[in-house]
């Protein structure tokens, strides 16, 4: 495996901070490979040792004015992922988002009635130790509890209990962790 020149020179975290300069706060030792697009007037907080692996496709973080995106410690986000917040999105410590994931806390228009009205946002919470497979979509009101796992291509819009693996569209339980 080739080590990038910036890493050998110890410039990796410095370059990552430069790429994340529009964030409200950035923790120690961030890693950014590729492009991270940061949009909006909201606040984005990045924890310690967060990895943005955008070598295959850019990662997009979009926080509207008054909104917050909180990415806690030791989170890994892979390329093509888009996180959009109208109010609040949080990614818990040690969680992992696969490639091409989409996280939304607002649907931007109602499914019935006046499609020009913007519906109320519902916070999206991913607790610690959660793994989200590639091409998954987390809709408003999703709450993935500690240790949950999401199969690739899953669409979720509700609370998932701790230690449960879900898959499908709509999501259904595939496996439950056995308490020891």
Examine the pLDDT at 5 and tell me if it is beyond 80: no
For residues 63 and 82, the answer to whether their CB atoms sit within 8 Å is no
From CA 85, how far away is CA 65, in angstroms rounded? Answer: 9
| β-strand pairing of 172-176 with 164-167 | antiparallel
Q: Report percent pLDDT > 70 for the chain.
A: 89
Omega cis (within 30) before 145: no
Averaged confidence pLDDT in the chain: 87
pLDDT of residue 113: 72
Q: In the prediction, which pLDDT does 15 show? A: 82
Tens of pLDDT, residue by residue over 151-174, are 999 999 899 999 999 998 887 788
Look at residue 9 and tell me whether its pLDDT is greater than 50: no
Query: Per-residue DSSP letters for the chain?
Result: -PPPHHHHTT-HHHHHHHHTTTSSEE-SS-EEEEEEEEESSSEEEE-TT-EEEEEEEEEEEEE-TT-EEEE-TT-EEETT-EEEESSEEEE-TT-EE-TT-EEES--SS-SSS-TTSPPPP--EEE-TT-EE-TT-EE-TT-EE-TT-EE-TT-EE-SEE-TTEEEETTTTEEEEEPPP-
Mean pLDDT check: name the lowest of 36-40, 77-81, 134-138, 167-171: 167-171
- Cα distances from 130 to residues 75, 95, 104, 118, 146, in angstroms, run 10, 5, 17, 30, 6
Q: 161 Cβ partners below 8 Å, 6+ apart?
A: 145, 148, 176
Q: How far apart are CA 101 and CA 138, in angstroms?
A: 8
| pLDDT tens, position by position, 91-130 | 999 999 999 999 999 887 666 777 677 778 889 999 999 9
85: its two tokens = 């917040």
Q: What is the pTM of this model?
A: 0.85
């Amino acid at each position: 495996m080739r080590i990038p020149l910036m890493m050998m020179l110890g410039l990796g975290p410095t370059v990552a901070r430069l790429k994340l300069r529009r964030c409200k706060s950035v923790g120690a030792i961030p890693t950014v490979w590729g492009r991270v697009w940061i949009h909006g007037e909201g606040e984005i907080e990045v924890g310690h040792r967060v990895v943005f692996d955008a070598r295959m496709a850019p990662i997009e973080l979009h926080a509207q004015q008054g909104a917050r995106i909180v990415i806690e410690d030791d989170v890994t986000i892979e390329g093509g992922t888009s996180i959009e917040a109208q109010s609040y999105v949080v990614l818990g410590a040690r969680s992992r988002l696969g490639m091409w994931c989409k996280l939304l806390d607002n649907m931007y228009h109602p499914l019935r009635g006046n499609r020009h009205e913007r519906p109320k946002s519902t916070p999206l919470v991913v607790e610690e130790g959660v793994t989200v497979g590639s091409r998954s979509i987390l809709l408003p009101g999703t709450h993935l509890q500690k240790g949950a796992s999401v199969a690739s291509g899953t669409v979720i819009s509700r609370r998932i209990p701790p230690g449960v693996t879900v898959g499908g569209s709509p999501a259904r339980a595939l496996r439950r962790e056995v308490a020891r």
